[in-house]
Amino acid sequence: MRRDIFQAIADPTRRAIITLIAVQAMTPNVIADSFHTTRQSVSKHLRILTECQLVKQEQKGREIYYSLEIEKMKEIDKWIEQFRQIWETRFKQLDKVLFTIKKQKK
Give the domain ranges of the chain: 1-68, 70-106
65 contacts 27 by C-beta, under 8 angstroms: yes
**Residue-wise DSSP of 25-39:** -B-HHHHHHTTTS-H
Domain 1-68 falls under CATH 1.10.10.10: yes
SS3 11: coil
In 1-106, DSSP assigns E strands to 55-60, 63-68
pLDDT confidence bin for 32, thresholds 50/70/90: very high
For residue 59, what are the contacts with CB-CB under 8 A and spacing of at least 6?
Answer: 65
Closest C-alpha to 48, from 76, 27, 18: 18
**18-31 per-position pLDDT tens digit:** 999 999 999 999 99
Q: pTM of the full predicted structure?
A: 0.76
**33-46 per-position pLDDT tens digit:** 999 888 899 999 99
Biggest CA-to-CA distance, the chain: 73
